[in-house]
Amino acid sequence: MPKLTGPLVVALVYDGLCTFEFGIVAEIFGLARPEMGEHWYRFASCALDDGPMRAHGGLTFVADGGADLMDEADIIVVPGWKGAAVPVPDRLVTRLRAAHARGARLASICSGAFVLAATGLLSGGTITTHWRYAEALGARHPDMTVDAASLYREHNGLFTSAGSAAGIDLMIELVRRDFGPAAANSVARRLVMPAHRSGGQAQFLERPVPERKETAIAPLLDAIRSDPAADWSVQRMASACRMSVRTFLRRFGEATGQTPGDWLIAERVDAARRLLCQERESVDTVAQTSGFGSPEALRHHFRKRIGVSPTEYRARFLAERR
């Protein structure tokens, strides 16, 4: 296997480590991927506390190195935190601020957002965390906007993600930004998950959905995905399912965790992403084909959901293919 020369990803570990969250970071950045070549990520774990340390599940572990590893990192990931009410040590805040000042990116999974928020670098920005912690995070940091719906957010080179599994989405997004969509797709394929998930935390359901309700809605979802540019009004959707509008809205929410309008916009944004990746169509054509009708509407919804304009998305993520 070639000696790796790519960005150094350092995962912060601590006594009481969230095992799953750390596993996400190690799986994506620390697993051997010879097919990616010598410029792929380097990975190390960095101990905040004196070892050996404990992790959820009865594990005891020792890290690769101490806090000084953060001084060399290109990306620092905080995989969860000890608790929403546990103070963030000043020495950690100082290290993270210094790393950000020299250009390192900082990322968090789930409750790790409390650590990034403590640096003050997210002041005036929008961040996310698990919906269970959103209220507490907002109360502690009123100078920030807490988005309890998104899977992940970015502000000023700091990335925060929602519940644990959303950390996978964020880490794959970092891969996409660094190495392009083909690399991100390869990593996602190995994880047996989509390279991009539409929607957000609102997709979590209050209760299991009976199979017959999923069956009633599923053909409609397939029809919309096959023709997102059609005029999919709520009335038309309800008629296609042979339901009253009131019943349809209830069944749709139970099956998807979203309103029809929000779900439709997410699907159209995803369709636009796929078209932009093909590099053959103009933004005007992408807007029409994906169902937004106008470039202005496409830009508005695309930036709101993805964080960049369609043109920026194409330039940033497909440059490697040119």
Cα–Cα distance for residue pair 42/62, rounded to 1 Å:
18
Q: Look at residue 322 in the predicted model and tell me its pLDDT.
A: 46
Interacting residues of 33 by C-beta distance below 8 A, sequence separation 6+: 40, 186, 187
Higher per-residue pLDDT: 316 or 16: 16
Tell me the per-residue pLDDT of 155-200, one tens digit each, with 9 for 90 and over: 989 999 988 888 998 999 999 889 988 888 889 888 876 565 544 5
Q: How many CB atoms are closer than 10 A to CB 222?
A: 10
Cα–Cα distance for residue pair 39/117, rounded to 1 Å:
31
Cα–Cα distance for residue pair 182/192, rounded to 1 Å:
15
Q: Which domains does the chain have, with CATH numbers?
A: 8-191 (3.40.50.880), 206-322 (1.10.10.60)
Please state the pTM of the whole predicted model.
0.65
- The band of 321, judged by pLDDT with boundaries at 50, 70 and 90, is very low
Tell me the per-residue pLDDT of 93-107, one tens digit each, with 9 for 90 and over: 999 999 999 999 999
For 34-43, 192-201, 245-254, which range has the lowest pLDDT when averaged over its residues?
192-201
Tell me the per-residue pLDDT of 20-35, one tens digit each, with 9 for 90 and over: 999 999 999 999 999 9
- The band of 288, judged by pLDDT with boundaries at 50, 70 and 90, is very high
Q: Look at residue 227 in the predicted model and tell me its pLDDT.
A: 94
Residue in this structure with the two tokens 């439709």, named with its chain if needed: 264
Structure tokens at 133: 């912690």
Q: Is the pLDDT of residue 213 over 50?
A: no
Q: Look at residue 254 in the predicted model and tell me its pLDDT.
A: 83
Q: Look at residue 320 in the predicted model and tell me its pLDDT.
A: 40
- The band of 151, judged by pLDDT with boundaries at 50, 70 and 90, is confident
Tell me the per-residue pLDDT of 78-92, one tens digit each, with 9 for 90 and over: 999 999 999 999 999
- The band of 202, judged by pLDDT with boundaries at 50, 70 and 90, is very low
Structure tokens at 286: 């992408």
Cα–Cα distance for residue pair 140/150, rounded to 1 Å:
20
